[in-house]
Chain A
């Protein structure tokens, strides 16, 4: 098993694991509504399907958030 971080919290799962699988586990159902950083580097939307997550990696899901004047 490998441990990596998702939004600051440890997650334990067999590594390496695909980013797509990590998204699935974390209920990221709308990839178009999230910006992803792995170890502080942005992952291009085109690469969501190919990136692998390894032991010790830090994954951040940054969600689009509107709200404010009319919401």
Chain B
């Protein structure tokens, strides 16, 4: 890949980094990343990956922008209310960096489309709000041998881990989705908007580290933080030999759609 003069200029702060350089920027520009969910986490992930010049960004989300999203989903603006989130996100990415090819999927990730969609990307980012899809992303990525970043936020807390083929997966740590009635509905729980940015930028950083091969990924570790104390912790987690998807005797041989916890979007 030959960069134009403008591209060299645009990406100069990456290229200046000894660990990245022109070669690293080429890897970023050749990268294909799928972002599942164009919401609180997906927004900062998409913006930073677009700014970094990731060559292809896929975004899957079936929702439209709601006024209550704007408190944290920084890729959507006030005039975007009622617009499809994938379209709103694509417009911003194109404005930020026309080098990026954006592929949009205005639908939900399901057991029937997950493998086909995920198969077209190098890295997958979990920016979803619900556990059935988080487990689906995990299981599909494990089966397809694709690396992904798990991310979750609630109230003042965030957590993330990176999963590569062979490292501890989300299911190794959390086993199975919690019963739907145990999960506080989204409108009940609330979330401090800025922590979506804190967590999303960590996820975007992991993507760029993965694409360039720089540093040590957040594998076999769960990073958690609490914004009230501003304390960060990484907890070592191990590959679980009894894991239902990546253990010695996996019982999950086919992807399934779990029952969705109801998420009150508008109230």
Enumerate chain B residues within 8 angstroms of A64, measured Cβ to Cβ.
Answer: 131, 152, 174, 178, 183
Q: List 7 interface pairs A-B (beta carbons < 8 Å), by A numbering.
A: A45-B175, A65-B157, A67-B151, A67-B191, A69-B127, A71-B153, A71-B191
Distance to closest chain B CB from A69 (angstroms):
3
Q: Does A63 contact B (CB under 8 A)?
A: yes
Distance to closest chain B CB from A4 (angstroms):
16
Report, as a range, how many residues of chain B touch the other chain: 35 or more
Contact B189 A71 (CB under 8 A): yes
User: 15 other contacts beyond A35-B174, A62-B237, A71-B263, with CB at 8 A cut-off?
Assistant: A32-B178, A37-B237, A40-B238, A62-B159, A62-B222, A64-B152, A64-B174, A64-B183, A66-B131, A67-B191, A68-B127, A70-B129, A71-B39, A71-B154, A71-B186
What does the 1/0 interface line of A1-16 toward B look like (CB < 8 Å)?
Answer: 0000001100000000
Q: Does B87 contact A (CB under 8 A)?
A: no
Instruction: Determine which of A45, A63, A69 lies in contact with B42 in the assembled complex, contact meaning CB atoms within 8 Å.
Output: A69
Enumerate chain A residues within 8 angstroms of B131, measured Cβ to Cβ.
Answer: 64, 66
Q: Among the interface residues B38, B42, B130, which one has the most CB atoms of the partner chain A within 10 A?
A: B130
Distance to closest chain A CB from B16 (angstroms):
33
With A32-B182, A62-B222 known to touch, is A67 a contact of B40 (CB < 8 Å)? yes
Q: Does B235 contact A (CB under 8 A)?
A: yes
Contact B178 A68 (CB under 8 A): no
With A7-B233, A37-B237, A40-B238 known to touch, is A66 a contact of B134 (CB < 8 Å)? yes
Report, as a range, how many residues of chain A touch the other chain: 20 to 34
Please report the C-alpha to C-alpha distance between residue A27 and residue B175 in the assembled complex, in whole angstroms: 22
Contact B173 A62 (CB under 8 A): yes
Q: Does B126 contact A (CB under 8 A)?
A: yes
Contact B182 A33 (CB under 8 A): yes
Residues 168-210 of B at the A interface (beta carbon under 8 Å): 173-175, 178-179, 182-183, 186, 189, 191, 196
Contact A68 B151 (CB under 8 A): yes
SS class, residues of chain B in contact with chain A: mixed
Please report the C-alpha to C-alpha distance between residue A62 and residue B126 in the assembled complex, in whole angstroms: 18
Q: Among the interface residues A7, A42, A63, A69, which one has the most CB atoms of the partner chain B within 10 A?
A: A69
Contact B157 A63 (CB under 8 A): yes
Residues 119-177 of B at the A interface (beta carbon under 8 Å): 126-131, 134, 151-154, 157-159, 173-175
What does the 1/0 interface line of A44-71 toward B look like (CB < 8 Å)?
Answer: 0100000000000000101111111111
Instruction: Determine which of B40, B173, B183, B236 lies in contact with A69 in the assembled complex, contact meaning CB atoms within 8 Å.
Output: B40
* Closest 8 A/B residue pairs (Cβ): A69-B37, A65-B152, A69-B39, A67-B153, A71-B186, A71-B129, A70-B129, A68-B41
What does the 1/0 interface line of B23-39 toward A look like (CB < 8 Å)?
Answer: 00000000000001111
Enumerate chain A residues within 8 angstroms of B175, measured Cβ to Cβ.
Answer: 35, 45
Enumerate chain B residues within 8 angstroms of A32, measured Cβ to Cβ.
Answer: 178-179, 182
Contact A69 B129 (CB under 8 A): yes
Enumerate chain B residues within 8 angstroms of A66, measured Cβ to Cβ.
Answer: 128-131, 134, 152-154, 183, 186
Contact B134 A69 (CB under 8 A): no
Please report the C-alpha to C-alpha distance between residue A67 and residue B159 in the assembled complex, in whole angstroms: 10
